[in-house]
């Protein structure tokens, strides 16, 4: 079942949320803006139309993620965030005393398994609500809360081990 969408309403409703999601991936505002615009363009022009099996937001984020991964493949490297960007918004209960601690936390996050890594990143760096994280994964808000809590515990355990 294909659904007709009002693209102006779709854009106005979901632009900031899609932009925030892309920002968690790209880590640079100009790249995030470009990918967000391309996401909405692709949503309007693609042959694979919205089928209503997921929320509009989830559908748009799936498009955005594919575009981001295509961009990464083209460049054959990931966008490296600056030290300042990496540390912004991370709140592991006053765990950031210095750069060394921040680097260790990022090492732990880098080795964290999915979906914990992505849920933690979306919550901490992307500042997405649990409800929106749940929507992205096609799960409930409670699932997102539990997964984030488990991810946080895993990060703290691994930090204590070092």
Q: Model confidence over 61-112: pLDDT tens digits?
A: 888 888 888 888 777 644 444 444 444 444 443 444 456 666 777 778 788 8
Note whether 89 and 125 are within 8 A (CB).
Answer: yes
* Domain limits for position 13: 7-75
Q: Which residues contact 55 (CB under 8 A, 6 or more apart)?
A: 135
Q: Do 101 and 64 lie in a common domain?
A: no
pLDDT tens-digit map of 14-67: 888 888 888 888 888 888 889 989 888 888 887 557 666 778 888 888 888 888
pLDDT at residue 94, as a whole number: 40
Q: Specify the pTM.
A: 0.47
Domain boundary among 57, 75, 93: 75
pLDDT at residue 122, as a whole number: 82
């Amino acid at each position: 079942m294909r659904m007709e969408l009002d693209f102006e309403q779709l854009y106005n409703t979901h632009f900031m949320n899609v932009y925030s999601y892309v920002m968690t991936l790209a880590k640079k505002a100009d790249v995030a803006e470009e990918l967000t615009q391309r996401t909405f363009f692709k949503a309007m022009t693609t042959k694979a139309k919205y089928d209503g099996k997921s929320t509009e937001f989830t559908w748009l984020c799936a498009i955005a993620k594919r575009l981001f991964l295509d961009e990464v493949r083209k460049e054959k490297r990931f966008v490296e965030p600056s030290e300042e960007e990496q540390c912004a918004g991370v709140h592991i209960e006053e765990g950031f005393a210095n750069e060394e601690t921040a680097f260790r936390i990022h090492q732990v996050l880098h080795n964290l398994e999915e979906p914990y890594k992505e849920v933690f990143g979306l919550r901490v760096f992307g500042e997405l609500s649990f409800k929106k994280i749940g929507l992205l994964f096609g799960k409930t808000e409670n699932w997102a809360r539990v997964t984030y809590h488990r991810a946080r515990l895993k990060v703290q355990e691994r930090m204590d081990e070092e």
